[in-house]
Amino acid sequence: MRVVLIFSFCILGTVAVKAQSKQFSSWLASFNSFAIPKTKFSIHLDAQVRSTNEWREFQTFIVRQGLNYHVRKNMVATVGYAWVHNLRSLQDVSAYLAEHRIWEQFIVNHKLSFIPIQHRFRVEQRFIGTPVVNDNKLEKDGHELAHRFRYFLRGVIPFSGEQTFTKGPFAAAQNEVFLNFANTDAVNGKVFDQNRAYLAVGYRFSKQFDLEAGYLNQYISGRGTAFSSVHVIQLAGYLRL
């Protein structure tokens, strides 16, 4: 876990030094899983709301659903669909346009001493709405298909140091890197898309529910030489039934 923390601090320091454009946002997230009795399947459902820079308005709404298959006790494969409603701008005209995603992922969980570690590998097929301006209104003119790979690493540190952690305070550190592949012209024209580094503290109320709050740095690579650093305060709940 020491490696995870050092890596996360390095990411935070690097993006703070390099970023040309700084923004401030808040994210609210709910991550849920519902077991299907007497099977190896469960339902994944998460919902997120994100604000624009300096909390002026809503930037993004996300609803992501999927079907999990529990390959082993520590391995889960998922296929799903996500609806992403983004505030887009073109020629100083703004509107919400939908992006549709089909996604597949594989999760591997293990422990490092008393610390649970999660590795998540996700592939997304992104159907991104193409914006056009008609009569001073931003509209969607079809979709472009883009593909993206995401690798997510997370560690949870129980303050109690217990091997079996069922209740109490904890700290969390995570990092996720996003890489484009196939038709990068539909996004930023590059392989590297963004990186998200996150540090949080939380409380586990039971085996079924966690609540946490923390700081997330979203480092985004735009077209050409443009890049930005978004400073995010995130509140997240985790429900496991």
Do the Cβ atoms of 4 and 173 come closer than 8 Å?
yes
Distance of alpha carbon 235 from alpha carbon 176, whole angstroms: 17
Tell the burial category of 145 from Cβ atoms under 10 Å away from its Cβ (0-12, 13-18, 19+): exposed
Q: Report phi then psi at 188, rounded to 5.
A: -105, 5
List pLDDT tens digits, range 3-24: 444 444 454 444 444 546 889 9
Domain 2-240 has CATH 2.40.160: yes
Q: What is the pLDDT of residue 5?
A: 46
With beta carbons less than 8 A apart as the criterion, state whether 195 and 216 touch: no
Q: pTM of the entire structure? A: 0.89
pLDDT tens, position by position, 157-173: 999 998 899 999 999 99
